[in-house]
Amino acid sequence: MEGLEALKCEVCKVGAPLATEAQIGEFKLKIPEWNIIEEKNIKKLVREFRFNNFKETLAFVNEIGKLAEEQGHHPEMLVEYNRLTVWWWTNKIKGLHRNDFIMAAKTDNIIK
């Protein structure tokens, strides 16, 4: 499989299949700094990023925003002074889809 960051998100509709446990295991190896959490029976990817100041934090938020618009897949983000927490999951299917792992990898690629 090529790097997840090189892939494009596919349109995900209600009823699309969740990522299988095997897929989750395979994809997770490609994004080791992301954690999988479960909130209200919904699996999500989450990662916290740290910065030196608010200006750097906000610049990263804006880059993620551009990426999200390009791919048509949007995260939940909590912006703090020098910290940003990002969650990826697919609301339409209430869980993790391949798109979420792609977007996590693309998010990591921005920070490199």
pLDDT tens, residue by residue, 73-103:
999 999 999 999 999 999 999 999 999 999 9
Q: Which of 95, 100, 96 is nearest to 71 (CA)?
A: 100
> In the sheet where 42-50 sits, what is the strand order?
35-39, 42-50, 83-88, 76-79
- Tell me which long-range contacts 55-62 makes (C-beta under 8 A, separation of at least 24): 56/82, 57/81, 57/82, 57/83, 57/84, 60/84, 60/110, 60/111
Of the pLDDT bands very low, low, confident and very high (cuts 50, 70, 90), residue 2 is: low
CATH top-level class for 39-112? alpha beta
> Structural domain boundaries of the chain?
39-112
